[in-house]
Amino acid sequence: MPEDRQALLNGLRNIATQLRIDSIQATSAAGSGHPTSSMSAAEIMAALFFAEMRFDPKRPAALENDKFVLSKGHAAPVLYAVWAELGFMPREHLLTLRRFDSDLEGHPTPILPFVAVPTGALGQGLAVGLGMALAARIESRPYRTYVLMGDGETAEGSVWEAAQVASHHGVDNLCAIVDVNRLGQSQPTMLQHQMEVHQRRWEAFGWNALVVNGHDLGQLLDAFAQARAAQGRPTVILARTLKGRGVSFLEDKEGWHGKALKKGAETEAALKELQAQFVANGVKPVPPAPVGGPPPAPREGLSLPRPPFDKPIATREAFGQALAALGRLDSRVVALDGDVKNSTFTEDFQQVAPNRFFESYIAEQNMVGMAMGMAAEGKIPFLATFACFLTRAADFIRLAALARSNVKVVGTHAGVSIGEDGASQMGLEDLALFRATPESLVLYPSDAIATWRAVELAARHQGLAYIRTGRPKSPLVYSADETFAIGQAKVLRESADDIATVVTAGVTLAEALAAYEELKKAGLVIRVIDLFSVRPIDGNTLRAAARATNNLIITVEDHYLAGGLGDAVAEALGPEGARVVRLGITQIPHSGTAAQLLHAYKIDAAAIVERVHALAPARAR
C-alpha cells in the first residue's frame, strides 16, 4: 500500500476514534442519547466527510456543496462530533447536547446550518436525499447526495418507495449508506448480518449494491469511488458494522440502544479503551473542495397575471392552469405528481416545464420527502394528489412542518362532493391534518378565481402550505379583479338585518348562496362568509359577524366535523361566547351523485335553510 494512502487511512482511523470519544462524552454529559448507534457509524462518517464529500466546512449550507442527510437521526452525536472535528464548533460545545439552551438537539434540526431537514422519524431520509439529487439535475449541477441510514429503518415501506423511484429515474448522483449494525432498539433486526440478502434486495430494486466491512476504511473509500463512477443508477453501500464498536463491554451487545454510559467509572473505562486506539503516522485529511460554483440565478416571478376564467370550472382544474402559469414565470417552481396528473391537472405544468416535473408514482410518502429535498435546494415544490391519499404521508407532512420546509401541498377531490367513487376516495380528514400541523398555511378556495390567487399566495408564502380543491365544476363567485389575502375571509352577503352568519368554503359556498336566496324569499336574511383562509383565520371578521348576528354562527363544510372548518371557527370565536352550529359529515359516506350526497349528509342549501328556520325564527320577527 502506498505510504500516502496508509497515512490517509491512519488519519481517518484517528478521526473515527475521536468521533467515538466525542459521542460518548456528549451523551454521558447529557445523561441520555444514542452513543452505540453513533459508534457503529464512526468510520463511515470519517470517510465521508474527510475523504469523499466535496464541500466547504466554513459554509455548510452552500448550494454547491455535496449534500448529506442523516436518516438515522438518533445518531446525532456523531454528526455533531464531525462538525466539531471540522472546526465549525468548539469541541466543548458538544457537552451541551440535549440541553434546552443548546442548538444540539436530541435529533438534528435545521437550527444548525449543516442540517437541511430534521430527522429521527425513521425511513424518511432517502426520499429527502432523492429530492436533493433530482434538484441537481434541473441545472446540471455536479454535487452528489449521500444518505446514511440504519438497517432497522429499512423495514419502513417509505424506504422502498424512494428506492424504486430513484432507480426508475436513474439517479446516479445519489449514494445511500446503510449502517448494518444488526441491533435495533428492542431486539436484533430482521436480517441482522445477512449481507447477501440485503444486497439482493437492493439489487432487485435496480441499485448498484456494494457490501463492505463498515469498519475497514480502505473498503469504504473504494466503495465510494465505485459509487462516484457508477452511471445510470444509484448506489447503496451496505456497511457491516457493530453497534458500540471500539468498547468491549458495548460492542455488539443488546440492551444499549438509546442508553448513555453512566458518568464516572463506566464512562472512564470506555474512554480509556478508545484512547489506546489512536495510531501514529496519521495525516489529518482535509475535505475536498466543492466542484464548481453556485447555480445560476433563477428566473423569479411569483405574481400571476389576471385569471383567465369566464365560466364554471373545477377548482382542481383551475389549480393546474395556475401552476402552469407560475411555472412559466419562475424557474424555482417544480411540480410532483403521484400518478394522478390527469386528475389533478399537474399535467398542465408538465407541458410547459417538463424538466421541472417529477413523476413520483403511487408513493405519497416519497413524494412529500422528495419535495422536502427540493425545497432544501431552493426550489418551490408543488405536489398534488387526491386529498384522501395525503393521510398516507402524514408523518412526512409532519416532518415538513418541523423543517419549516417551503413545500406546497394541493389536495384534490375533497369531500363527499366527488360523488360515485365512494368513501375511500373522499378526502374528509385533510383540513384536520394540516390545521394540526404547526405553522402551516391552509387555503380553501371556492371558485376558479380564488384558486388562481391561492396558488399565487401559497407560492409567495415561505413555509408549508396546503390548498384544498374539489372535483365538480364550481360556479364563478368572484370577478377576475378580486383580490385575496392570507388570513382574510370574504363577506359575500351582509346587511343590518342579518339574523345569522353562515361560514363556509369550497363547494358548499354555492349552497350557502343558494340558501341565502331561498331564505330571502321568506323574509329571512343571513350573512354569508367565505372562509378562504382557514389558517390563519380571520378572527376579526368572524367576531364582527357574530356580534352583528346575535352571536349565531352556522358553519357548513364538506369535511368530517372533527378538526375541520367548524372547529377552526369555534376556536376563533371561543372567547366571544358565540354559538357555533356545525354542519358537516358525521358518518361514513356512501357512493352517489354529488347532489345526492350533499343532501343526504345535510350540507346543501336545503339543510342550511332548515337549520336557519330552526334556530332563528323568533329573531326574524
The length of the chain in residues reads 621
CA distance linking residue 336 with residue 323, whole number of Å: 11
C-alpha distances (whole Å) from 7 to each of 11, 19, 57, 277, 560 are 6, 18, 22, 15, 65
Angle at 60 between CA 54 and CA 65, to 5 degrees: 35
C-alpha cell, 41: 457509524
Nearest to 381 by CA among 419, 340, 420, 353: 353
Contact status, residue 503 vs residue 493, Cβ threshold 8 Å? no
| Catalytic residue annotation | 364
In sequence order, what are the residues at sequence separation of 6 or more whose Cβ sits closer than 8 angstroms to the Cβ of residue 517?
A: none
Q: What are the helix (H) ranges across 191-331?
A: 195-204, 217-229, 265-275, 315-329
Per DSSP bridges, beta strands 333-337 and 313-314 are unpaired
Cβ count near 571 (within 10 Å): 13
Contact status, residue 181 vs residue 193, Cβ threshold 8 Å? no
162-195: b (≥16 Cβ within 10 Å) or e: bbbbbbebebbbbbbbbbbbbbbeeeebebebeb
Nearest to 81 by CA among 59, 48, 56, 54: 48
C-alpha cell, 286: 482535509
